[in-house]
Chain A
């Protein structure tokens, strides 16, 4: 188990190091392809290597044509199996926080909740690797109000750090009967307005927390981005009457997520490379939108 991990990690790092060269090659091939398509002469710097590259282009198929980065590799095998999530909290959680985590357990299908106790983060990650979990989700709080969410994808995957705002939990709603029980079917997903590259990456991370649903489920989870604040909503719909008439009923907690960091490693790797971090102190940060539109 340990040696396998070490080998996997070494391969991963090797592929990561090759990326630079691959990218160069890809760029050259792309230029040649363009030149051939448009009927223009091939650029002079590529004349020597043109023949070899042309051969390679011919032999390519759709898998090999796209340059693979280690970033995409993290989720390459994610679609083959259903995700398995472990939910836990920071140490000494308050009662409202434990309630919130219980609700989240039902939101993510195939999720398990664990008491934090006095465990260290590295221990948690070790046990998750041993039991083949795909994701670990940690929830933090401030005086009873949940205020932080950390999603860590497991085989050395990326870690996304979110801040939570405007949290409304199911426990807050007093009228128990109207809200009913939470359905546990695999939900459909809506990821709206994740247009930039970073947005795509975040959408990917959030998407792979959920398994492949059946086409006819009535449960729908929405992550809608508006000026870098992602709104999480959870609905059940019913098509009454004829077409175009739809009734939405909101169930489940609702909160706003705000991404502030993505790290290219698991939670316990504090020295991992930071893919993106929020910089609010810059003068232009008010004008810029990072997650798209």
Chain B
């Protein structure tokens, strides 16, 4: 293998040298021989890497008939998983630089190869990737060759590699969830916890290794299955370290979690006592004295015990007095002077100036409804009341037209009219007039009575003489229904028939002087009337004017 590799190595180096030696401008124009050499070189490198990437699907880089893109894809297929695992490795080395040193020792043998290849490929783009790939390969090699001693430290790295590949295959991981990192952290934690018991466990592990061999196969199967799903608990086919971890977990006891009591408890006690001593400022001597005294408790009497207790209390209180007071006792305290959120823990007492909002309980609702029911039963509501509006105009009198058919025939109507004209007294009064008259008569009588009762100086109204036409009809006819005998006595007295002096002359009989006299007297009368009217009118006008003046004012 070595000689073969050397020969091929020389060939490769040759190719690569050729590639490197070409001037940069030459790369600009496509050239067949350049591309051939480049392809061959990449094929060789690919096959180198193939040994360290056992899971890549391609055995060889296929270059015949493939264009640049396809070749690149093949290379990508191989290098991607290696890249991610390498990143993790680098991070781990960041945390633990000593690991790098160990690896360096292991890599002594293969260093030459690394250096030579590294130098040649510095100008190329894939330098970094290949170096990382190389480191990975070396690690793998290291693992295979190593002893048990180093497996513990490097076991985790190996796991991570596998997990890295497994994780990528699992598809669960994204930029936030890195299952490898999670596992790493878990193991660190466990290592910290189990660190105390590491040495003893080691021996146990070594002893039980052979026994576990049988179980390992089963474990591996399980792990393979897990790997495809989650890869949480890793997938190291080669690694037994993982199993040991698992064994540790399964057999963990109280001491693993909480440590042994003897070691820690007294430490704590000592610590606390020391603190107390510092705070109190007591002398060490006194403390010792006290400690000595308390040990002799059984020998003291009850009185002495009580006095002891009192003394202890007094000292405690005195000590408290000397301390600076807590913030709650310090009067006005601003937020800066007290610890954070301490006001929330203390029960502050202050007066609220606002009456709290009412809580609507069942009783409240019940009492409300009681009140409502009472009001409804009483009928006592607080509704808006419509104010009676003042009438601006007097209501118009609407004459009601009687739509019914007149009960009287037309002949009767004419009869009544005739009777009214000739004999008004005998005419029967119409319905509405009758009622109106009756009403007005009643009202007048009432008013008369009330006036008589209510005024101190009562003056009865003048009696209006009722004018009625007396027809000059023989009395008997009026007074009797059925005229038995006819009498000459007339209703009206002779004066009532004619009132005047005797000398009544007709127009035709008058002499001229008498006619003139009549005309003059007529004129006189007329003039007198006219002047009377004029004066009356003037007086009226004057009063009107006065009124108007008053109004304007």
Q: State the A residues within 8 Å of B (CB).
A: 78-80, 165-166, 188-192, 203, 207-208, 210-213, 220, 222, 224, 226-229, 231, 233, 235, 237, 243-244, 246, 248, 256, 280-283, 285-286
Are B376 and A246 interface neighbours, CB within 8 A?
A: yes
Knowing A224-B368, A233-B368, A256-B357, the reply to whether A188 touches B377 (Cβ < 8 A) is no
Knowing A79-B386, A192-B371, A212-B385, the reply to whether A166 touches B360 (Cβ < 8 A) is yes
Interface residues on B, range: 20 to 34
* Per-residue contact bits, chain B 349-384, to A (CB 8 Å; 1 contact, 0 not): 000111101101000000011011101110001111
Scoring A203, A211, A246, A256 by chain B CB atoms within 10 A of each residue's CB, the highest score goes to A246
Least Cβ–Cβ distance between A76 and chain B, in angstroms: 9
Are A246 and B357 interface neighbours, CB within 8 A?
A: no
Q: Report the separation of the CA atoms of residues A207 and B383 in the bound assembly, to the nearest whole angstrom.
A: 7
Are B357 and A190 interface neighbours, CB within 8 A?
A: no
Q: Report the separation of the CA atoms of residues A244 and B374 in the bound assembly, to the nearest whole angstrom.
A: 9
- The residue that A191 contacts in the complex, of B354, B368, B382, with Cβ under 8 A, is B382
Residue B22 is within 8 A (CB to CB) of chain A in the complex: no
Determine the chain A residues whose CB is within 8 A of the CB of B369 once the complex forms.
235, 248
A165-B358, A222-B372, A256-B360 known; 4 other A-B pairs, CB under 8 Å?
Answer: A224-B368, A227-B355, A227-B358, A228-B355
Q: State the B residues within 8 Å of A (CB).
A: 352-355, 357-358, 360, 368-369, 371-373, 375-377, 381-387, 389
Least Cβ–Cβ distance between B197 and chain A, in angstroms: 57
Are A226 and B358 interface neighbours, CB within 8 A?
A: yes
Q: Report the separation of the CA atoms of residues A80 and B354 in the bound assembly, to the nearest whole angstrom.
A: 41
Shortest Cβ distance from A223 into B: residue? B382
Q: Report the separation of the CA atoms of residues A228 and B355 in the bound assembly, to the nearest whole angstrom.
A: 10
Are B353 and A281 interface neighbours, CB within 8 A?
A: yes
- The residue that A248 contacts in the complex, of B373, B384, B386, with Cβ under 8 A, is B373
- The residue that A280 contacts in the complex, of B354, B360, B385, with Cβ under 8 A, is B354
Q: List 8 A-B contacts (CB under 8 A).
A: A189-B382, A207-B384, A220-B372, A222-B368, A235-B369, A237-B376, A246-B376, A286-B354
Shortest Cβ distance from A163 into B: residue? B357
Least Cβ–Cβ distance between B43 and chain A, in angstroms: 69
- The residue that B353 contacts in the complex, of A203, A213, A233, A283, with Cβ under 8 A, is A283
6 A-B pairs with the lowest CB-CB distances in the bound complex, closest first:
A191-B382, A188-B381, A79-B387, A246-B373, A212-B386, A189-B382
Least Cβ–Cβ distance between B75 and chain A, in angstroms: 60
- The residue that B375 contacts in the complex, of A166, A190, A211, A233, with Cβ under 8 A, is A190
Are B353 and A280 interface neighbours, CB within 8 A?
A: yes
Q: Report the separation of the CA atoms of residues A211 and B354 in the bound assembly, to the nearest whole angstrom.
A: 36
Q: Report the separation of the CA atoms of residues A220 and B375 in the bound assembly, to the nearest whole angstrom.
A: 11
Q: Report the separation of the CA atoms of residues A261 and B352 in the bound assembly, to the nearest whole angstrom.
A: 22
Q: Report the separation of the CA atoms of residues A79 and B383 in the bound assembly, to the nearest whole angstrom.
A: 11
Shortest Cβ distance from B374 into A: residue? A246
Least Cβ–Cβ distance between B357 and chain A, in angstroms: 5
Determine the chain B residues whose CB is within 8 A of the CB of A192 once the complex forms.
371, 375
Are A248 and B358 interface neighbours, CB within 8 A?
A: no
- The residue that A231 contacts in the complex, of B355, B368, B387, with Cβ under 8 A, is B368
Least Cβ–Cβ distance between A282 and chain B, in angstroms: 8
Are A189 and B357 interface neighbours, CB within 8 A?
A: no
